[in-house]
Structure formats: C-alpha cells, structure tokens
Amino acid sequence: MQVITSTRALEAFCKDAATYDFVTVDTEFLRETTYWPKLCLIQAATADRAVIIDPLADDIDLAPFAELLADRHVTKVFHAARQDIEIFVKLFGVVPHPIFDTQVAASVCGHGDSVSYDNLVRSVVGEQIDKSSRFTDWSHRPLTEKQLNYALADVTHLRDIYGQLRTEIDKTRRGAWVADEMAVLESVDTYVIQPEVAWKRVKARVNKPRDLAALQAIAAWRERRAQENDQPRGRILKDDAIAELAIQRPTTPDAFEKLRAVPRGYGRSAAAAELIAIIKSVEAADKSSLPKVAERPRGPSPKGAVGDLLRVWLKAVADTNGVATRIIASSDDIDAIVLDDNADVPALKGWRRKLFGEKALAIKHGRMALAATRKGVVEVSVDLAE
C-alpha cells in the first residue's frame, strides 16, 4: 500500500494514471458539523496500482490530482459520486470529466435501485467487505493499517465492478441511458447551490405570493449564513421553522415566542434581528413585485387512481427491462404527468418517453389498458370508437 503525503509523489502517480483509460476514485470526509465537507482522504486506483492520498499532509498540493480529474482522456469512476464530486468542485472549481457512476450504471443494468457499494461488491466481485472501520474519524492521524485497507477497498473492487458494468451496458445497448444520467452528474449546477434557489429544497406549502416571497428570502438568508459560517443548514434554522416564519412573518422579538418551530429566546438573537429586517422588507414590497404562486392544475389527483395505474405500468416496464424504476421515472415525474401531458420531466423525454412516457399518456387518456396475467402486467389496446 502506498500512502502519498508529498506533492512530488502525487505528481508521479497522476502522471502514470494519465496513461490509463480510467481511474477509480473515492474519498473519506467529515461533515456532521459543517456545511462544506472536510476532505480527509482520497483513494485512487488504475488497472494495476492503488494509492491513498493524504490531503491533510503538510507537504502536499493537490493540483496534480485536479489536473488528472480534468483530463478528458481518462474516465473517472465513482460509486454514488455526488458527495465526492461536490468536494472536488469546492476544492478545484470544476466537475471531473468524463465520469462513470457505478451506482447509476448498476440501476440501469438491473442490480437494484441505489444499490450500495457493499452489495455490488458481493454480487459482482463475490467478496465481503469488512465494515468494522466504517465509522472511523478520518481526520485522525495516524490511521491504522486496517483503516487504510478498508479505505483502499473502495477503489480496488471498483475496478472489477466498472469492467463488468461496461460489458453489461454494451451488451444491452444502454449506453445512451447511462449517458443521460452522467450528464446530470457532470453539470456544476448539481453541486453549487445558489442561495436564491435554496427555497426549492424546503418542504413548505405556500399559497400566497407574499408567503412565497418570505420563504424565498428567508431560505436564501439561511443558505448564505450556512455557507459563510460553514455550518449545517439545520443548525442555522430547521426547515419547519423557515416554513412557519414565511407564513406567520413575525416583526418583533416577542412575536417569535409565539412560534412553535423556533427555539425559545430566539427572538432576542442577532439572527432574529436580521430575519425581522428581511420580513419587514417583504411586508413592505409592492404587490406587483411579488413572485407568482404556481397555479394548481385542474384534473385528476396525482395520488388518485390515474397515478396508481401509471405506477403499475412503471413497475411492469422496469421488471420487463430489468432496470430500477427510479431510472425510468420518479414519483414526482408521475405526479407531473397526471397533471400535464407536456410536463417538463425526464420521463417524457428521450429514451424514457419511448420506453415509458408515450404509453403512460395513452393509459391516462384511456387509449391503453392494463391486464394481469400469469406472466405479469401486460398492455391492452383500447378502441375508443367502440
């Protein structure tokens, strides 16, 4: 095992890795008390070499690794890539490219929805990973050999998994399916959350323009504060508190004490003073400047019988094609299709529309029915003229 602790050694590894078609990558990090993940280890492997890079070492500059991640001739292979890539986007300002996420590819190839690395190693490689070091404090030094071996296994088995999934994808001709998913992972917008759109992550139902304006402003305030102070969002203010503040809009410290989701005494804090100023600004805003609340489309309920039928069809399509349902359509996709034939959702675009979306619309409008047989659910054409 090689543990790289110097820039010179890292340069040598990255120069060698650049001569290969792919490199497997994983990270170990801490995030429990911070907004931004704290990078503690980088694991990387080529076809015949595996290393651990220590980003906390005194004599190391990660610039050579950044160059490797940006090398378009080398595919960067991850499992469940989002958090790893988020770290690299924060460190280097760019998304690694090209990338291959084995969790996504496994879903496309019928290995299950959001399959874990452990399960994939077991089913593809036929080995069992020792999980005893899973809850390691990766910022602690020195790390034991057992801990380092555990970390390294995250990229050594990944080589075999990558090769197997590549073969399955080529055999089933599902390269376009995987490419669609990778395009999302290769977009910087997937990892950089702008405060102005942070409200979309908050589960809150608002029916009035001024409520929505308050929700947008308060969520943006929390996001900026979390980023600037490097604290988790929930430690700044929880989602239910933001929703309550947006609807109740307290403008005095005493008014905060009447809220259920806000901690006692919060109204006297400096944070509350900032929120009061924000809320007063929203209250003073002219009606013409307020955001529009999306109209509720009229028609069948997404949670009613039509939605149920589309979910049955989705399960049938997924089973027939040996692919996870989530890859074809999400629950939100189905809700949107029930409400709108032209919904802007992945399930009505590209290969997903051909595989599922077109017939989902046919079911919705009564042009196609479903029947249960011994072989499973099958489609039945409907002649509306009868």
Tell me whether residue 300 is in a domain: no
The average confidence (pLDDT) of the chain is: 93
Query: Same domain for 247 and 311?
Result: no
Q: What CATH number did the domain enclosing 90 receive?
A: 3.30.420.10
Q: Do 228 and 273 fall within a single domain? A: yes
Domain contains 291: no
Q: 331 is written with which tokens?
A: 């629950």
Residues 6+ apart with CB under 8 A from 258: 248, 250
Q: In the chain, pLDDT over 70 holds for what percent of residues?
A: 97
Contacts of 28 (CB under 8 A, 6+ apart): 40, 41, 43, 136, 138, 151
Question: What radius of gyration do the chain's Cα atoms show?
Answer: 25
Q: pLDDT tens digit string along 280-300?
A: 999 999 999 999 987 766 667
Round to whole Å and give the CA distance between 175 and 166. 9
Question: Could you tell me the two tokens for 162?
Answer: 């990558």
Q: Are residues 258 and 352 in the same domain?
A: no
For residue 37 the two structure tokens come to 């993940």
Taking the C-alpha atoms of residue 49 and residue 20, their distance in angstroms, rounded to an integer, is 11
- Structural domain includes residue 72: yes
Listed in sequence order, the residues at least 6 apart from 138 whose beta carbon sits closer than 8 Å to its beta carbon are: 28, 29, 30, 40, 41, 151
100 and 210 part of one domain: no
* Residue 245 to residue 9: CA distance in whole angstroms: 53
Q: Are residues 145 and 73 in the same domain?
A: yes
Question: Are 110 and 322 within 8 A, CB to CB?
Answer: yes
244 and 356 co-located in one domain: no
Residue of higher predicted confidence among 83 and 384: 83
Q: Give the DSSP H or E segment for 325.
A: helix 325-328
* Residue 270 within a domain: yes
| Dihedral sign (CA 154, 162, 51, 192) | negative
State residue 298's pLDDT score: 63
Token couple for 150 = 């555990």
Same domain flag for 11 and 149: yes
Q: Is the pTM of this model over 0.75?
A: yes
Question: Span 115-139, mean pLDDT?
Answer: 89
Give pLDDT, residue 129.
Answer: 87
The CATH number covering residue 262 comes to 1.10.150.80
Tokens 């499973």 correspond to: 376
pLDDT at 375: 82
The answer on pLDDT for 385 being more than 80 is: no
Asked whether 366 and 309 are in contact (CB, 8 A), the reply is no
Determine the structural domain holding residue 52 and report its residue range. 2-190
* pLDDT tens digits along 165-197: 999 999 999 998 899 889 989 999 899 889 999
Instruction: Confirm whether 364 is domain-assigned.
Output: yes
Percent of the chain with pLDDT over 90: 81
Residues 35 and 180 in one domain: yes
Question: Do 185 and 275 fall within a single domain?
Answer: no
Give the residue, 372 or 84, on which the prediction is more confident: 84
Residue 299 located in a structural domain: no
Residue ending a domain, among 190, 224, 243, is 190
pLDDT confidence tier of residue 335, bands split at 50, 70 and 90:
very high
**Domain boundary, last residue among 167, 190, 213:** 190
Beta strand pairing call for 38-45 and 22-30: antiparallel
> Same domain for 56 and 107?
yes
Q: What is the pLDDT, as a whole number, of residue 297?
A: 60
| End-to-end CA, the chain | 73
CA distances 276 to 239, 246, 263, 266, 272, Å, are: 17, 11, 15, 12, 6
Does residue 298 belong to any structural domain of this protein?
A: no
Give mean pLDDT, residues 65-83: 97
Residue 188 is given by DSSP the state: G
Domain boundary among 190, 225, 247: 190
> Do 140 and 272 share a domain, yes or no?
no
Residue 293 forms part of a structural domain: no
Q: How far apart are CA 190 and CA 308, in angstroms?
A: 30
CB 26, CB 136: distance < 8 Å = no
CATH number of domain containing 338: 1.10.150
Give pLDDT, residue 376: 86
Q: Look at residue 130 in the predicted model and tell me its pLDDT.
A: 83
Domain count within the chain: 3
